[in-house]
Amino acid sequence: MLNLPENFQNYSEARQQGFLRLKELKESGKKVVGIFCTYTPTELILAAGAVPVGLCGVSDEPIPFAEKHLPKNLCPLIKSSYGFAISDTCPYFYFSDMILAETTCDGKKKMYELMGEIKYTHVMQLPQGRSGNLALESWYSEMLRLRDVLNQQLGVEITDDDLRKAIHLKNRERKAMLDYFEIGKLKPTPISGYEISTVIDTNSFIFDTEEKISILEKRTAQLRQDYEEKFKGKPSRPRILITGCPTGGVREKIIRQIEELGADIVGFENCCGPRAQKDMVDENKDPYLALAEKYLRINCSVMSPNPGRIEAMAEMIDEYQVDGVIEVILQACHTFAIESYRIKKFVTEEKHLPFLSLETDYSQADTGQINTRISAFLEILAT
Ligand code: BJ8
Protein backbone atom coordinates (compact mmCIF):
# COMPACT_ATOMS: atom_id res chain seq x y z
CA MET A 1 0.00 0.00 0.00
CA LEU A 2 1.41 3.38 -1.00
CA ASN A 3 1.71 6.03 1.71
CA LEU A 4 -0.53 8.63 0.03
CA PRO A 5 -1.89 11.81 1.66
CA GLU A 6 -5.41 11.62 3.14
CA ASN A 7 -6.87 14.00 0.55
CA PHE A 8 -4.89 12.46 -2.35
CA GLN A 9 -6.45 13.08 -5.75
CA ASN A 10 -5.35 11.06 -8.72
CA TYR A 11 -4.34 12.88 -11.88
CA SER A 12 -7.74 12.91 -13.58
CA GLU A 13 -9.57 14.04 -10.42
CA ALA A 14 -7.11 16.90 -9.90
CA ARG A 15 -7.28 17.83 -13.57
CA GLN A 16 -11.07 18.00 -13.46
CA GLN A 17 -11.12 20.12 -10.33
CA GLY A 18 -8.69 22.49 -11.98
CA PHE A 19 -11.17 23.10 -14.83
CA LEU A 20 -13.63 24.74 -12.49
CA ARG A 21 -10.98 26.88 -10.80
CA LEU A 22 -9.64 28.01 -14.15
CA LYS A 23 -13.11 28.82 -15.45
CA GLU A 24 -13.70 31.04 -12.42
CA LEU A 25 -10.36 32.76 -12.96
CA LYS A 26 -11.19 33.40 -16.60
CA GLU A 27 -14.55 34.83 -15.66
CA SER A 28 -12.82 37.17 -13.24
CA GLY A 29 -10.73 38.49 -16.15
CA LYS A 30 -7.46 36.58 -15.63
CA LYS A 31 -5.41 35.77 -18.71
CA VAL A 32 -4.15 32.21 -19.19
CA VAL A 33 -1.00 31.07 -20.97
CA GLY A 34 -0.70 27.41 -22.01
CA ILE A 35 2.79 25.91 -21.65
CA PHE A 36 4.53 22.61 -22.45
CA CYS A 37 8.07 22.54 -21.20
CA THR A 38 10.47 22.98 -18.29
CA TYR A 39 12.34 25.59 -20.34
CA THR A 40 9.37 27.97 -20.12
CA PRO A 41 10.25 31.02 -18.00
CA THR A 42 6.96 31.03 -16.08
CA GLU A 43 8.19 34.03 -14.06
CA LEU A 44 7.43 36.25 -17.05
CA ILE A 45 3.87 34.90 -17.26
CA LEU A 46 3.33 35.59 -13.55
CA ALA A 47 4.87 39.04 -13.92
CA ALA A 48 2.28 39.72 -16.64
CA GLY A 49 -0.45 38.96 -14.07
CA ALA A 50 -1.43 35.84 -16.03
CA VAL A 51 -1.70 32.20 -15.07
CA PRO A 52 0.54 29.52 -16.62
CA VAL A 53 -1.15 26.17 -17.24
CA GLY A 54 0.57 22.95 -18.30
CA LEU A 55 -0.85 21.44 -21.50
CA CYS A 56 1.41 18.41 -21.93
CA GLY A 57 -0.70 15.49 -23.09
CA VAL A 58 -0.48 12.41 -20.86
CA SER A 59 -3.38 10.44 -22.32
CA ASP A 60 -3.64 8.26 -25.42
CA GLU A 61 -7.28 9.25 -26.05
CA PRO A 62 -6.60 12.25 -28.32
CA ILE A 63 -3.80 10.52 -30.27
CA PRO A 64 -6.07 9.29 -33.13
CA PHE A 65 -7.06 12.94 -33.75
CA ALA A 66 -3.39 13.97 -33.89
CA GLU A 67 -2.53 11.16 -36.28
CA LYS A 68 -4.78 12.73 -38.91
CA HIS A 69 -2.13 15.48 -39.24
CA LEU A 70 1.02 14.07 -37.66
CA PRO A 71 3.05 10.95 -38.46
CA LYS A 72 2.17 7.86 -36.41
CA ASN A 73 5.82 7.28 -35.60
CA LEU A 74 6.10 10.33 -33.36
CA CYS A 75 6.50 10.80 -29.62
CA PRO A 76 3.16 10.14 -27.83
CA LEU A 77 3.60 13.26 -25.69
CA ILE A 78 3.63 15.41 -28.83
CA LYS A 79 0.71 13.57 -30.44
CA SER A 80 -1.34 13.66 -27.25
CA SER A 81 -0.72 17.40 -26.73
CA TYR A 82 -1.62 18.23 -30.32
CA GLY A 83 -4.56 15.81 -30.29
CA PHE A 84 -6.11 17.64 -27.34
CA ALA A 85 -5.73 20.94 -29.16
CA ILE A 86 -7.11 19.82 -32.51
CA SER A 87 -10.03 17.86 -31.05
CA ASP A 88 -11.04 20.74 -28.77
CA THR A 89 -11.32 18.32 -25.84
CA CYS A 90 -9.01 20.05 -23.37
CA PRO A 91 -10.60 22.88 -21.37
CA TYR A 92 -7.12 24.12 -20.41
CA PHE A 93 -6.23 24.60 -24.06
CA TYR A 94 -9.64 26.15 -24.68
CA PHE A 95 -9.20 28.67 -21.83
CA SER A 96 -5.66 29.62 -22.86
CA ASP A 97 -5.37 33.11 -24.32
CA MET A 98 -2.13 32.12 -25.99
CA ILE A 99 0.39 29.30 -26.13
CA LEU A 100 4.02 29.72 -25.13
CA ALA A 101 6.41 27.12 -26.54
CA GLU A 102 10.11 26.58 -27.28
CA THR A 103 12.18 25.00 -30.06
CA THR A 104 13.22 21.93 -28.06
CA CYS A 105 13.05 18.64 -30.00
CA ASP A 106 12.26 18.48 -33.73
CA GLY A 107 8.87 16.90 -33.17
CA LYS A 108 7.68 19.53 -30.74
CA LYS A 109 8.92 22.53 -32.67
CA LYS A 110 7.33 21.37 -35.93
CA MET A 111 4.09 20.46 -34.13
CA TYR A 112 3.93 24.00 -32.70
CA GLU A 113 3.81 25.36 -36.26
CA LEU A 114 0.54 23.45 -36.72
CA MET A 115 -0.72 24.37 -33.29
CA GLY A 116 -0.19 28.02 -34.19
CA GLU A 117 -2.92 27.61 -36.79
CA ILE A 118 -5.41 26.78 -34.02
CA LYS A 119 -4.37 29.37 -31.43
CA TYR A 120 -1.79 32.14 -31.18
CA THR A 121 1.49 30.36 -30.34
CA HIS A 122 4.70 32.16 -29.49
CA VAL A 123 7.75 29.93 -29.93
CA MET A 124 10.94 30.93 -28.13
CA GLN A 125 14.08 30.03 -30.08
CA LEU A 126 15.99 27.90 -27.60
CA PRO A 127 19.72 27.56 -28.41
CA GLN A 128 20.77 23.99 -29.30
CA GLY A 129 23.58 24.01 -26.75
CA ARG A 130 25.11 26.12 -24.00
CA SER A 131 28.58 26.55 -25.44
CA GLY A 132 29.65 29.37 -27.72
CA ASN A 133 29.34 33.07 -27.11
CA LEU A 134 25.97 33.38 -28.74
CA ALA A 135 23.97 30.84 -26.74
CA LEU A 136 23.37 32.98 -23.66
CA GLU A 137 23.17 36.18 -25.68
CA SER A 138 20.47 34.83 -27.98
CA TRP A 139 18.47 33.23 -25.14
CA TYR A 140 18.67 36.52 -23.25
CA SER A 141 17.26 38.34 -26.25
CA GLU A 142 14.49 35.72 -26.43
CA MET A 143 13.53 36.69 -22.85
CA LEU A 144 13.21 40.32 -23.90
CA ARG A 145 11.23 39.32 -27.00
CA LEU A 146 8.89 37.26 -24.83
CA ARG A 147 8.31 40.24 -22.55
CA ASP A 148 7.25 42.30 -25.58
CA VAL A 149 5.00 39.52 -26.89
CA LEU A 150 3.28 39.09 -23.52
CA ASN A 151 2.81 42.84 -23.21
CA GLN A 152 1.19 42.98 -26.59
CA GLN A 153 -0.88 39.79 -26.48
CA LEU A 154 -2.14 40.20 -22.94
CA GLY A 155 -2.43 43.99 -22.98
CA VAL A 156 -0.10 44.55 -20.01
CA GLU A 157 3.19 46.28 -19.25
CA ILE A 158 5.62 44.04 -17.39
CA THR A 159 7.90 46.11 -15.16
CA ASP A 160 11.26 44.99 -13.73
CA ASP A 161 9.68 45.21 -10.31
CA ASP A 162 6.86 42.80 -11.33
CA LEU A 163 9.44 40.41 -12.69
CA ARG A 164 11.64 40.54 -9.59
CA LYS A 165 8.63 39.74 -7.41
CA ALA A 166 7.65 36.82 -9.67
CA ILE A 167 11.23 35.50 -9.56
CA HIS A 168 11.24 35.64 -5.78
CA LEU A 169 7.90 33.83 -5.58
CA LYS A 170 8.97 31.10 -8.01
CA ASN A 171 12.23 30.63 -6.10
CA ARG A 172 10.18 30.02 -2.97
CA GLU A 173 8.07 27.50 -4.86
CA ARG A 174 11.24 25.81 -6.15
CA LYS A 175 12.58 25.51 -2.62
CA ALA A 176 9.29 23.96 -1.43
CA MET A 177 9.40 21.46 -4.32
CA LEU A 178 13.01 20.58 -3.65
CA ASP A 179 12.33 19.94 0.04
CA TYR A 180 9.45 17.71 -1.02
CA PHE A 181 11.57 15.76 -3.54
CA GLU A 182 14.32 15.34 -0.98
CA ILE A 183 12.05 13.27 1.24
CA GLY A 184 13.04 10.48 -1.17
CA LYS A 185 16.55 10.61 0.33
CA LEU A 186 15.26 9.11 3.58
CA LYS A 187 15.82 5.37 3.92
CA PRO A 188 13.39 3.70 3.87
CA THR A 189 11.50 6.34 1.97
CA PRO A 190 8.09 7.36 3.30
CA ILE A 191 7.09 8.84 -0.08
CA SER A 192 6.11 6.91 -3.20
CA GLY A 193 7.25 7.81 -6.69
CA TYR A 194 3.61 7.53 -7.70
CA GLU A 195 2.75 10.36 -5.32
CA ILE A 196 5.68 12.51 -6.45
CA SER A 197 4.77 12.07 -10.10
CA THR A 198 1.09 12.84 -9.50
CA VAL A 199 1.68 15.84 -7.24
CA ILE A 200 4.19 17.43 -9.59
CA ASP A 201 1.94 17.05 -12.64
CA THR A 202 -1.21 18.20 -10.86
CA ASN A 203 0.57 21.21 -9.34
CA SER A 204 0.02 22.86 -12.66
CA PHE A 205 -3.75 22.82 -11.99
CA ILE A 206 -3.37 24.93 -8.84
CA PHE A 207 -3.16 28.48 -10.01
CA ASP A 208 -2.22 30.27 -6.82
CA THR A 209 1.52 29.89 -6.22
CA GLU A 210 1.21 30.66 -2.48
CA GLU A 211 -1.36 27.85 -2.20
CA LYS A 212 1.00 25.47 -4.03
CA ILE A 213 3.84 26.35 -1.68
CA SER A 214 1.68 25.83 1.38
CA ILE A 215 0.36 22.42 0.17
CA LEU A 216 3.92 21.25 -0.54
CA GLU A 217 5.28 22.48 2.79
CA LYS A 218 2.51 20.78 4.75
CA ARG A 219 2.94 17.50 2.92
CA THR A 220 6.72 17.59 3.40
CA ALA A 221 6.29 18.16 7.14
CA GLN A 222 3.76 15.30 7.30
CA LEU A 223 6.12 12.94 5.46
CA ARG A 224 8.98 13.79 7.82
CA GLN A 225 6.72 12.97 10.73
CA ASP A 226 5.59 9.71 9.05
CA TYR A 227 9.23 8.77 8.62
CA GLU A 228 9.99 9.29 12.31
CA GLU A 229 6.87 7.48 13.48
CA LYS A 230 6.38 4.67 10.98
CA PHE A 231 9.40 4.14 8.73
CA LYS A 232 12.67 4.86 10.56
CA GLY A 233 14.69 1.74 11.32
CA LYS A 234 12.53 -0.49 9.09
CA PRO A 235 14.07 -2.41 6.14
CA SER A 236 14.15 -0.63 2.80
CA ARG A 237 12.83 -1.99 -0.49
CA PRO A 238 15.09 -1.66 -3.55
CA ARG A 239 15.52 2.04 -4.35
CA ILE A 240 14.96 3.07 -7.95
CA LEU A 241 15.92 6.25 -9.80
CA ILE A 242 13.83 7.06 -12.87
CA THR A 243 15.49 8.83 -15.78
CA GLY A 244 14.69 9.76 -19.39
CA CYS A 245 11.53 11.29 -20.85
CA PRO A 246 8.68 12.78 -18.80
CA THR A 247 6.67 9.95 -17.21
CA GLY A 248 3.22 11.51 -16.67
CA GLY A 249 1.76 9.48 -19.55
CA VAL A 250 3.06 6.17 -18.18
CA ARG A 251 2.31 6.84 -14.53
CA GLU A 252 0.03 3.81 -14.12
CA LYS A 253 1.77 1.49 -16.58
CA ILE A 254 5.33 2.00 -15.31
CA ILE A 255 5.61 4.19 -12.21
CA ARG A 256 2.83 2.57 -10.23
CA GLN A 257 3.76 -0.87 -11.50
CA ILE A 258 7.39 -0.64 -10.31
CA GLU A 259 6.15 0.11 -6.80
CA GLU A 260 3.42 -2.55 -6.90
CA LEU A 261 6.08 -5.08 -7.89
CA GLY A 262 8.09 -4.34 -4.77
CA ALA A 263 10.52 -1.42 -5.24
CA ASP A 264 10.46 2.24 -4.17
CA ILE A 265 10.98 5.02 -6.68
CA VAL A 266 13.01 7.47 -4.62
CA GLY A 267 13.77 10.07 -7.27
CA PHE A 268 13.22 11.28 -10.80
CA GLU A 269 16.13 12.42 -12.96
CA ASN A 270 13.71 13.75 -15.56
CA CYS A 271 11.35 16.70 -15.86
CA CYS A 272 9.12 15.20 -13.13
CA GLY A 273 11.95 15.66 -10.59
CA PRO A 274 14.35 18.29 -9.27
CA ARG A 275 15.97 18.95 -12.68
CA ALA A 276 14.54 22.43 -13.01
CA GLN A 277 14.16 23.18 -9.31
CA LYS A 278 17.61 22.59 -7.99
CA ASP A 279 19.08 25.83 -9.05
CA MET A 280 17.45 29.13 -8.32
CA VAL A 281 17.14 32.26 -10.41
CA ASP A 282 19.71 34.80 -9.21
CA GLU A 283 17.74 37.61 -7.56
CA ASN A 284 20.66 40.04 -7.57
CA LYS A 285 21.17 40.80 -11.23
CA ASP A 286 19.34 41.94 -14.35
CA PRO A 287 16.22 39.73 -14.07
CA TYR A 288 16.17 38.91 -17.80
CA LEU A 289 19.79 37.81 -17.74
CA ALA A 290 19.17 35.81 -14.56
CA LEU A 291 16.25 34.01 -16.24
CA ALA A 292 18.28 33.33 -19.38
CA GLU A 293 21.13 31.86 -17.33
CA LYS A 294 18.87 29.72 -15.18
CA TYR A 295 16.80 28.20 -17.96
CA LEU A 296 19.81 27.55 -20.15
CA ARG A 297 21.24 25.34 -17.39
CA ILE A 298 18.42 22.75 -17.63
CA ASN A 299 19.86 19.35 -18.49
CA CYS A 300 17.50 18.14 -21.19
CA SER A 301 18.70 15.83 -23.97
CA VAL A 302 17.65 18.43 -26.54
CA MET A 303 20.86 20.27 -25.58
CA SER A 304 24.02 19.24 -27.38
CA PRO A 305 26.23 18.39 -25.63
CA ASN A 306 24.43 17.69 -22.37
CA PRO A 307 27.04 16.71 -19.75
CA GLY A 308 25.02 18.20 -16.90
CA ARG A 309 22.63 15.25 -17.04
CA ILE A 310 25.38 12.79 -16.08
CA GLU A 311 26.50 15.11 -13.28
CA ALA A 312 22.94 15.39 -11.97
CA MET A 313 22.52 11.64 -12.20
CA ALA A 314 25.77 10.98 -10.31
CA GLU A 315 24.62 13.29 -7.55
CA MET A 316 21.17 11.74 -7.33
CA ILE A 317 22.47 8.15 -7.33
CA ASP A 318 24.67 8.97 -4.34
CA GLU A 319 22.36 11.24 -2.40
CA TYR A 320 19.24 9.11 -2.85
CA GLN A 321 21.18 5.86 -2.15
CA VAL A 322 19.92 4.33 -5.38
CA ASP A 323 20.07 0.55 -6.03
CA GLY A 324 19.07 0.58 -9.71
CA VAL A 325 18.17 2.97 -12.54
CA ILE A 326 15.17 2.60 -14.84
CA GLU A 327 15.09 4.75 -17.95
CA VAL A 328 11.85 5.53 -19.77
CA ILE A 329 12.13 6.44 -23.43
CA LEU A 330 8.97 7.55 -25.17
CA GLN A 331 8.68 6.03 -28.62
CA ALA A 332 10.47 8.11 -31.30
CA CYS A 333 12.19 10.41 -28.81
CA HIS A 334 15.54 10.47 -30.57
CA THR A 335 17.43 12.74 -28.20
CA PHE A 336 16.80 10.66 -25.08
CA ALA A 337 17.13 7.40 -27.06
CA ILE A 338 20.59 8.42 -28.29
CA GLU A 339 21.72 9.59 -24.85
CA SER A 340 20.64 6.19 -23.50
CA TYR A 341 23.94 4.54 -24.54
CA ARG A 342 25.98 6.99 -22.46
CA ILE A 343 23.60 6.84 -19.54
CA LYS A 344 23.74 3.04 -19.47
CA LYS A 345 27.53 3.05 -19.62
CA PHE A 346 27.73 5.58 -16.81
CA VAL A 347 25.28 3.74 -14.56
CA THR A 348 26.67 0.25 -15.11
CA GLU A 349 30.40 0.93 -15.54
CA GLU A 350 30.99 3.92 -13.30
CA LYS A 351 28.29 3.50 -10.70
CA HIS A 352 28.18 -0.32 -10.96
CA LEU A 353 24.42 -0.40 -10.72
CA PRO A 354 21.82 -2.37 -12.69
CA PHE A 355 20.14 -0.41 -15.48
CA LEU A 356 16.92 -1.05 -17.40
CA SER A 357 15.74 0.95 -20.40
CA LEU A 358 12.06 0.75 -21.36
CA GLU A 359 10.87 2.15 -24.65
CA THR A 360 7.14 2.66 -24.67
CA ASP A 361 4.19 4.81 -25.70
CA TYR A 362 0.88 5.71 -24.06
CA SER A 363 -1.01 2.60 -25.19
CA GLN A 364 -1.67 -0.44 -23.02
CA ALA A 365 -0.42 -2.85 -25.70
CA ASP A 366 2.95 -3.51 -24.02
CA THR A 367 1.73 -3.66 -20.40
CA GLY A 368 2.41 -7.39 -20.03
CA GLN A 369 5.85 -7.16 -21.58
CA ILE A 370 6.77 -4.20 -19.38
CA ASN A 371 5.64 -6.03 -16.24
CA THR A 372 7.81 -8.99 -17.17
CA ARG A 373 10.86 -6.80 -17.75
CA ILE A 374 10.39 -4.84 -14.52
CA SER A 375 9.89 -8.07 -12.53
CA ALA A 376 13.07 -9.56 -13.98
CA PHE A 377 14.98 -6.35 -13.18
CA LEU A 378 13.75 -6.31 -9.59
CA GLU A 379 14.83 -9.91 -9.22
CA ILE A 380 18.37 -8.90 -10.21
CA LEU A 381 18.25 -6.19 -7.53
CA ALA A 382 17.13 -8.70 -4.94
CA THR A 383 20.11 -11.02 -5.56
S1 BJ8 B 1 12.95 20.10 -20.83
S2 BJ8 B 1 12.28 16.67 -21.41
S3 BJ8 B 1 9.67 19.00 -20.97
S4 BJ8 B 1 11.72 19.09 -23.95
S5 BJ8 B 1 9.83 13.05 -24.92
S6 BJ8 B 1 8.49 15.87 -26.63
S7 BJ8 B 1 12.03 15.62 -26.00
S8 BJ8 B 1 10.39 13.55 -28.39
S9 BJ8 B 1 9.28 16.30 -23.36
FE10 BJ8 B 1 10.67 17.68 -22.56
FE11 BJ8 B 1 11.15 20.22 -22.12
FE12 BJ8 B 1 13.15 18.50 -22.37
FE13 BJ8 B 1 11.65 18.45 -20.22
FE14 BJ8 B 1 10.44 15.63 -27.61
FE15 BJ8 B 1 11.41 13.52 -26.38
FE16 BJ8 B 1 8.83 13.69 -26.80
FE17 BJ8 B 1 9.99 15.29 -25.07
How far, in Å, CA of 199 to CA of 11, rounded?
8
The answer to whether residues 87 and 113 belong to one domain is yes
How far, in Å, CA of 105 to CA of 126, rounded?
10
CA of 161 to the centre of ligand 1 (A): 32
**Ligand 1 atom closest to residue 36's alpha carbon, by position in its atom list:** 3
The answer to whether residues 234 and 338 belong to one domain is yes
How far, in Å, CA of 187 to CA of 177, rounded?
19
CATH of residue 31's domain is 3.40.50.11890
Contact 105, 333 (CB under 8 A): yes
- For residue 155, what are the contacts with CB-CB under 8 A and spacing of at least 6? none
Give the total number of structural domains in the chain: 2
The answer to whether residues 349 and 264 belong to one domain is yes
328 close to ligand 1 (CB < 6 Angstrom): no
Task: Give a yes or no: residue 4 inside a domain.
Answer: no
Question: What is the reported pLDDT for 148?
Answer: 98
CA of 39 to the centre of ligand 1 (A): 10
Residues 232/235/237/241 CA torsion (nearest 10 deg): 50
Ligand 1 pocket test, pick from 277, 330, 343 with the greatest ligand atom count within 8 Å of Cβ, gives 330
pLDDT in tens, 271-282: 999 988 889 999
The answer to whether residues 314 and 342 belong to one domain is yes
CA of 346 to the centre of ligand 1 (A): 21
How far, in Å, CA of 305 to CA of 299, rounded?
10
pLDDT in tens, 171-225: 999 999 999 999 999 999 999 999 999 999 998 899 999 999 999 999 999 999 9
CATH of residue 258's domain is 3.40.50.11900
pLDDT in tens, 61-81: 999 999 999 999 999 999 999
pLDDT in tens, 292-345: 999 999 999 999 999 999 999 999 999 999 999 999 999 999 999 999 999 999
**Ligand 1 atom closest to residue 300's alpha carbon, by position in its atom list:** 12
The answer to whether residues 141 and 173 belong to one domain is no
pLDDT band at 157 (very low <50, low <70, confident <90, very high): very high
The answer to whether residues 154 and 167 belong to one domain is no
In DSSP notation, 180-211 reads HHGGGGSSS-SS-HHHHHHHHHHGGG---HHH
362 close to ligand 1 (CB < 6 Angstrom): no
Domain membership of residue 100 as a residue range: 11-158
How far, in Å, CA of 252 to CA of 162, rounded?
40
The answer to whether residues 167 and 131 belong to one domain is no
The answer to whether residues 179 and 142 belong to one domain is no
Q: Shortest CA distance to 334 belongs to which of 299, 309, 363, 300? A: 300
- For residue 26, what are the contacts with CB-CB under 8 A and spacing of at least 6? 32, 95
Cα–chain-centroid distance for residue 22? 21
pLDDT in tens, 94-128: 999 999 999 999 999 999 999 999 999 999 999 99
Task: Give a yes or no: residue 376 inside a domain.
Answer: yes
Contact 300, 226 (CB under 8 A): no
Query: For atom 7 of ligand 1, which residue has the closest CA?
Result: 105
How far, in Å, CA of 57 to CA of 63, rounded?
9
CA of 246 to the centre of ligand 1 (A): 7
Question: What is the reported pLDDT for 58?
Answer: 94
The answer to whether residues 143 and 256 belong to one domain is no
Instruction: Indicate if the pLDDT at residue 373 is higher than 90.
Output: yes
Count CB-CB contacts under 10 A for residue 381: 17
124 close to ligand 1 (CB < 6 Angstrom): no
CA of 53 to the centre of ligand 1 (A): 17
How far, in Å, CA of 106 to CA of 335, rounded?
10
0.75 exceeded by pTM: yes
The answer to whether residues 134 and 193 belong to one domain is no
250 close to ligand 1 (CB < 6 Angstrom): no
The answer to whether residues 125 and 213 belong to one domain is no
